[in-house]
Amino acid sequence: MLDVIAPDTIHETEVFEMHITAMSGTSKLSNVRVSSDTDVLIDSYLIQTQITLVCNHSFLHNTGNKQLTIQVRDIEDLKAHATHSVFITAIRNPFLFLARDGVFADSVIAPATPFNFAISSVKTEQNLDSLLIYRNKTRVYSYDFQEQELAVGDTLSFMYSDEIHEKGMYIYEFVLCDIYQKRHTLARKITVQ
């Protein structure tokens, strides 16, 4: 006998919990294995006639439908197996935008002209972790959200100022990360001529 109890749907940040009960007739159970197409969640060796296991697993950064296979073997290598499908819903990415009271689109400026980016970050369902600003792949600014108490939908705004003296093309990347490293990235090109 093999009995599996587990939810059909979980959120990506939740711990998936599966209860497995297996019982053999005359021979003793020797192995319980729970696997998906990419992972082995549990592989347990034992010698007993009845077991109850709780399998806890994180599906962070996995979304969509996962098919799990549960196999139980006894010492005579006879098996019982079951399958269970679980649907993993995704975390929404944090939201980031550039306000119109600063540079908000690709722009052309003269050398030594100060300019500003008005950056707004919006908390979605997960806590924000950091805001990073890169100029031509070099980090020029970072902000840590660890001390901020924000509710879902709260907006935090920043003004980032810069001034470039050399002619050329400069790519600014704005990266907002949440605590699960989901990202929202914007890029703007500033041409100095």
In sequence order, the 6+-apart residues with CB closer than 8 A to the CB of 193 are 108, 110, 111, 167
Predicted local distance difference test score (pLDDT) of residue 126: 83
How far apart are alpha carbons 120 and 124 in whole angstroms? 13
Phi and psi at 28, nearest 5°, equal: -90, 150
Q: Residue 142 pairs with which residues in a beta bridge?
A: 132
How far apart are alpha carbons 46 and 72 in whole angstroms? 11
User: Which ranges in the chain are annotated with CATH 2.60.40.2950?
Assistant: 2-89
Lookup: tokens for 188: 């703007």
Q: Which SS3 state, helix, strand or coil, does residue 61 take? A: coil
User: Per the confidence metrics, is the pTM higher than 0.75?
Assistant: no
Predicted local distance difference test score (pLDDT) of residue 36: 87
Predicted local distance difference test score (pLDDT) of residue 39: 84
User: Which ranges in the chain are annotated with CATH 2.60.40.10?
Assistant: 95-192
- Domain 2-89 carries which CATH code? 2.60.40.2950
In sequence order, the 6+-apart residues with CB closer than 8 A to the CB of 38 are none
How far apart are alpha carbons 46 and 50 in whole angstroms? 10
Predicted local distance difference test score (pLDDT) of residue 50: 82
Q: Residue 83 pairs with which residues in a beta bridge?
A: 69
* CATH architecture type of domain 95-192: Sandwich (2.60)
Each of the 193 residues of the chain gets a pLDDT tens digit; together they read 788 999 999 988 889 999 988 887 777 888 888 998 888 888 888 778 788 888 888 888 888 999 999 998 888 877 888 999 999 998 888 889 998 888 888 999 999 999 999 999 888 888 889 999 999 999 999 999 888 888 888 888 889 999 999 999 999 999 999 888 888 999 999 999 9
Sheet with 95-98, side-by-side order of all strands: 95-98, 115-122, 155-162
